[in-house]
A and B are shown apart, each in its own frame.
Chain A
Amino acid sequence: MFYREAGQFRVSYAEDQRIFPIRQDRYGFVAVLLVAFVGVPLLANEYWFSAILIPFLILSLAALGLNILTGYTGQLSLGTAGFMAVGAFAAFNFAIRIPGLPILAVFMLAGLTAALVGIVFGLPSLRIKGFYLAVATLAAQFFIEWVLTKFGWFSNNNPSGVITAPAMKLFGMFPVDTPMKRYLFTLTIVAVMALLAKNMMRCATGRAFMAVRDMDVAAEVIGIPMLRTKLLAFAISSFYCGVAGALWAFAYLGSVEPQAFTLDRSFQILFMIILGGVGTVLGSFLGAAFIVLLPIFLNNFVHRIVPGLSSDLLSNLELMIFGGLIIFFLAVEPHGLARLWQIGKEKLRLWPFPH
């Protein structure tokens, strides 16, 4: 009923090509942005900012990065956390070794460093496909972890390998110190990059990615340069993951060690895109919300219904429910939450007269 595009005519190319061609979508998008930028800061408390919202946003960004590579280009990667680690440690080194470098430039350089590393580890993708590639990206994951732990230079010779992010100052005068400011800072970066990604996937670049995903031999036959497209996908994806990693260190935790970016993190992000929806921007956010909120919810929920369980058993029970739910969701809707949302929209278009 309230999702009807009847009467909305596109009379110019510009109108035909906009991101949200349907008016309701546009209003919805503005409403979501308003809520995120104005509503949430008014309502949320410190705990929500630093324990839920900031990690959710950062993980969404990382999931978006992985989605560009895996969802849009079809190159399965298990090295996401490794690229996040590169971003985090690069940002740290740029920030302390070049004093006075603006914070946004630090993030940009961190992303570019991650992109370079991504290109190097993306080279094998030209010859290796599918699960072979997935396992090969594990090489990136373990190698990066090892290098960052082993060589003290990366953590400025901190004996335990921990890096402590220096205080952030926007444009040299606005300190980003309170949880709310850090939330807004993260939100701005994530929103801009998500919008960029959404646009990028609609234009020639994204179409080339999708052609490679659907069948790379066919894509090559119709003249899509394989080398450039695959490496570009790795670079862009790693750039997103790198910025996410830098945010993880600077805006979320303040100080991290390489062990914050283990294989478990890579899997966590892979889960986000699978559950959220492979090859959709929205799916990255839905999946991240699901994976971030589920353990918190389970923790409270299990506590509520069976009080007095030992914490040991409780954590194992949570693990079981988590694993079970993942299998359940995959069985019910293999295309993820974004697909559910799409189905819901289709239903609403026709409701209440479905025929």
Chain B
Amino acid sequence: MEFDWPFFFEVLIGGLLAGVMYSLVALGFVLIYKASGVFNFAQGAMVFFAALTFVSLVEKGLNFWLAMAATLAIMVALGVAIERVVLRPLVNQPQITLFMATIGLTFFLEGLSQGMWGAQVHGLELGIKDVPFKVAGISISQFDLFAAGTAAALVAALAVFFQKTRIGRALRAVADDHQAALSVGIPLKHIWAIVWAVAGFVALVAGLLWGSRIGVQFSLTLIALKALPVLILGGFESIPGAIVGGLIIGASEKLAEVYIGSPIGLGIGTGMENWFPYMLALVFLLVRPEGLFGEKHIDRV
């Protein structure tokens, strides 16, 4: 059988673009982990909360940008509240305790968003048509391109924010060493609140893109699980890692589904996309235990 190259590239590009969407979610994880060492499982719930709040505000008749601003304000308030209520009492606790607290937060946010806005599925129109167009015989989704562009812009903005601004410098200092940062007078509490607010903003962007893709519904919380292999592949501390990891996971997931899972290929059965990224990440980890771009830790006795 002749190998169908155009089809291969179509799958590959579709996968790469889908991977960008994963990166968006992973980005929120990385931000928080970098700055506060908290593995924030609630990122998925935050994405869901942001998207649901936004959609509900729009359906209440609010203007698009007004709703955006209002949601952003709510997410910032949420970030500050999380810092105050969840993180501050748990300062200096082991990481696993903080991780569990964010799982508790996940339950809380899921209950809150559905209790406030109801559990029905909302459609979300961003004004971008999801029609594929053809380049050299390969069809590419316009929407995916838009999502990729947004992600690129977001990463660029974050990079500038981290490298060029005063707050960004403080964030990097905190990420490097909490105690050293404290001792040169960086207000840790403010920094954490800012990071969670920024993560809230990233969650909003991810929520809007994912929401208009699959509808604003409860399963949005599950995309956090999609982002985890991306994270360990790229390394918890690295923003470029999140992007590259997303691309690798997205592409290989789609290729595996088509060429290993489905009857066109080896046909071992569909539905592999749940575990395949994890297995792939696992294999990568065996070679590089701290992810592709993660920081190497040297253990000393």
A327 in complex: contacting residue of B85, B278, B290, CB < 8 Å? B85
Contact of B96 among A145, A216, A274 (CB under 8 A): A274
- Asked if B104 contacts A323 (CB within 8 A), the reply is yes
B108 touches A323 (CB 8 A): yes
Residues of A within 8 A of B111 (CB): 316-323
B301 touches A (CB below 8 Å): yes
Q: How far, in whole Å, are A327 and B82 apart by their CA atoms in the complex?
A: 11
Contact with B301, one of A124, A131, A221, A274 (Cβ below 8 angstroms): A221
Q: Any chain A CB within 8 A of the CB of B168?
A: no
CB proximity to A under 8 Å, residues B65-111: 85-86, 89-90, 93-97, 99-101, 103-111
Interface pick from A12-20, A191-199, A243-251, A263-271? A263-271
Judge whether A6 is part of the interface by a CB distance below 8 angstroms: no
Contact B107 A136 (CB under 8 A): no
Look across to chain A and name the residue whose beta carbon is closest to the beta carbon of B235: A132
- Residues on B with C-beta less than 8 A from A317 are 111, 115
Asked if B269 CB lies within 8 Å of chain A CBs, one says: yes
Q: Are B101 and A320 in contact (CB under 8 A)?
A: no
CB <8 Å contact, A331 and B90: yes
Bound CA span A129–B95, Å: 13
A48 within 8 A of B: no
> Number of A residues contacting the other chain (C-beta, 8 Å)?
48
Interfacial residues, chain A to chain B (CB-CB below 8 A):
70, 76, 124, 127-132, 135-136, 138-139, 142-143, 145-146, 149-151, 215-218, 221, 263, 267, 270-271, 274, 278, 312-313, 316-327, 330-331, 334
CB within 8 Å for A136 and B108 given contacts A127-B286, A274-B96, A274-B97: no
Residue of A nearest to B271 (CB): A146
B57 contacts A by Cβ under 8 Å? no
Q: Is B289 an interface residue (CB 8 A)?
A: yes
A131, B89: Cβ atoms closer than 8 Å = no
Chain A residue numbers with a CB within 8 Å of B104 are 322-327, 330
Contact string against A for B residues 218-255, beta-carbon threshold 8 Å, 1 for contact and 0 otherwise? 00000001001101100010000000000000000000
User: In the complex, are the beta carbons of A267 and B103 less than 8 A apart?
Assistant: yes
Pairs across A and B, CB under 8 Å, 22 listed: A128-B286, A131-B236, A132-B232, A139-B278, A142-B274, A142-B278, A146-B272, A146-B274, A216-B299, A271-B103, A274-B100, A312-B114, A312-B118, A312-B119, A316-B111, A319-B107, A320-B111, A320-B115, A323-B109, A330-B90, A330-B101, A331-B89
Report A-chain residues with C-beta under 8 Å of the C-beta of B285.
Answer: 124, 127-128, 132, 136
B residues less than 8 Å from A128 (CB atoms): 285-286, 289
Verify A139–B115 contact, CB threshold 8 A: no
Residues in B neighbouring A323, C-beta threshold 8 A: 104-111
Report the minimal beta-carbon distance from A185 to chain B, rounded to whole angstroms. Answer: 32
A130 to B232 alpha-carbon distance, docked (Å): 11
- B residues within 8 A CB of A127? 285-286, 289
Enumerate chain B residues within 8 angstroms of A217, measured Cβ to Cβ: 299-301
Q: Is there an interface contact between A139 and B279, defined as CB atoms closer than 8 Å? A: yes
Report if B281 contacts A (CB, 8 A). yes
A316 and B115 contact, CB distance less than 8 A: yes
Task: Tell me if B231 and A316 are in contact (CB < 8 A).
Answer: no
Residue contact A129 to B289, C-beta cutoff 8 Å: yes
B112 within 8 A of A: yes
Q: Is the CB of A320 within 8 A of B108?
A: yes
A324/B278 in contact, CB under 8 A: no
B167 at the interface (CB under 8 A from A): no
Besides A278-B96, A323-B109, 18 other CB < 8 A contacts?
A128-B285, A130-B95, A136-B285, A139-B278, A151-B269, A218-B301, A312-B114, A316-B112, A316-B115, A317-B111, A317-B115, A320-B108, A322-B111, A323-B105, A323-B108, A325-B104, A330-B101, A334-B97
